[in-house]
Amino acid sequence: MLPDVSVYTPGQVVEETGFSLDTLRYYERIGLLESIDRNAAGQRRFTQKDVGWLGMIRCLRDTGMPIAEMLRFAEMTRAGDHTVRERIALLEAHDRRVQEQVDNLRERQVAIRNKIAYYHSVVD
Amino acid sequence: MLPDVSVYTPGQVVEETGFSLDTLRYYERIGLLESIDRNAAGQRRFTQKDVGWLGMIRCLRDTGMPIAEMLRFAEMTRAGDHTVRERIALLEAHDRRVQEQVDNLRERQVAIRNKIAYYHSVVD
DNA sequence: ATGCCACCTGGAGCCCACTCCAGGTCAAGC
DNA sequence: GCTTGACCTGGAGTGGGCTCCAGGTGGCAT
């Protein structure tokens, strides 16, 4: 029998998403992941949708969104289509912060490179 | 009498650097700032050089360098000119990490913008 | 049938980087 | 001379985000 390709074990999700198993459990505990299915033995079985949502989480985490805000986003997502405008607002605000981060990093990077260049001038 | 323009009170340094007073004291405690001068009353008096060093700290902090690594950098700086090559190595490694951060942020930003665009397509 | 491994739970612990607190000192302005 | 405010110290507390632990279950390979 073919394996159900759209169902993932915890180990596969760890592999797939780069989150640790403990982190996945933590996210479920705090409500960032909702109602993960279980098999007969009580082990988690993630759907394709769960993995997709974790991709979104990864994206928001890596761009510095605090968990509290992701939680609000998760709740909006669960609440249905009438929250789409709110979600747009949240993501657009976040996008602006990401842009600020990028700009700030680039600026600081220039200073660091200047320092490196100065050190080179000292040493050469 | 003209004020000594190259000496700063704690309040001025807070203003100047954006670090809180507690953070400045914390940095001194852990050795990230060395031997800040005191006036007769035991109050800190920062030199131009201290403020410059804090600018460097700000730069490294804002680009995500952990305090432990800044501490190593601080120690090298104190140790004298024979550490300049090591310092270059440290900063170049850091610069590469900053570049990775920027690249990663930009990539994630594309995904976020796609999500926003998708939401717009749903709502319009 | 016996390891062994992946998984489970609730709860405690950890790390980082601050941040706050209590109780005190000095200096200047009213 | 008294208040106000900027500063001092040592030490405890906080918040975010995991991470680890003890003790247990179920299934598969040898």
Q: Which domain holds residue B76?
A: 7-123
Q: Please, what is the average pLDDT of chain B?
A: 94
pLDDT digits (tens, 9 = 90+) for B51-95: 999 999 999 999 999 999 999 999 999 999 999 999 999 999 999
Neighbours of A23 (CB within 10 A): 16
Angle between helices B48-62 and B10-17 (to 10 degrees): 40
The residues, any chain, with a CB within 8 Å of residue A77's CB and separated by 6 or more, are: A83, A87
CA B93, CA B89: separation in Å to the nearest integer?
6
- Contact present, B63 and B98 (Cβ < 8 Å): yes
Look at residue A4 in the predicted model and tell me its pLDDT: 56
Q: Domain for residue A54, yes or no? A: yes
Between the CA of B110 and the C1' of C10, what is the distance in angstroms? 40
Q: Domain for residue B36, yes or no? A: yes
| Chain A residues within an 8 Å CB radius of B106 | 102
Q: Domain for residue A76, yes or no? A: yes
Q: Domain for residue B98, yes or no? A: yes
Q: Domain for residue B119, yes or no? A: yes
Which of B3, B70, B12 lies closest to B46 in space, CA to CA?
B12
DSSP A121: H
Mean pLDDT, range A23-48, rounded to an integer: 94
Model confidence at A124, in pLDDT bands (50, 70, 90)?
A: confident
**What percent of chain A is modeled with pLDDT above 90?**
90
pLDDT digits (tens, 9 = 90+) for B39-59: 989 999 999 999 999 999 999
Is pLDDT above 70 for B5? no
pLDDT digits (tens, 9 = 90+) for B102-111: 999 999 999 9
pLDDT digits (tens, 9 = 90+) for A49-105: 999 999 999 999 999 999 999 999 999 999 999 999 999 999 999 999 999 999 999
CA A36, CA A50: separation in Å to the nearest integer?
8
Q: How many domains does chain A have?
A: 1
Q: Domain for residue A15, yes or no? A: yes
Inter-chain contact A98–B84, Cβ cutoff 8 Å? no
Nearest residue (CA) to C1' of C19? B22
Helical H runs in chain A? Answer: 10-17, 21-30, 48-62, 67-79, 84-123
Cα dihedral across residues B118, B119, B121, B122: positive or negative: positive
CA A65, CA A97: separation in Å to the nearest integer?
9
CA B11, CA B20: separation in Å to the nearest integer?
9
Inter-chain contact A88–B116, Cβ cutoff 8 Å? yes
Q: Domain for residue B44, yes or no? A: yes
Is pLDDT above 70 for B1? no
Strand partners, B7: B47
CA A17, CA A9: separation in Å to the nearest integer?
12
Q: Domain for residue A1, yes or no? A: no
**What is the CATH classification number for the domain harbouring B67?**
1.10.1660.10
| Chain A residues within an 8 Å CB radius of B109 | 63, 95, 98-99, 102
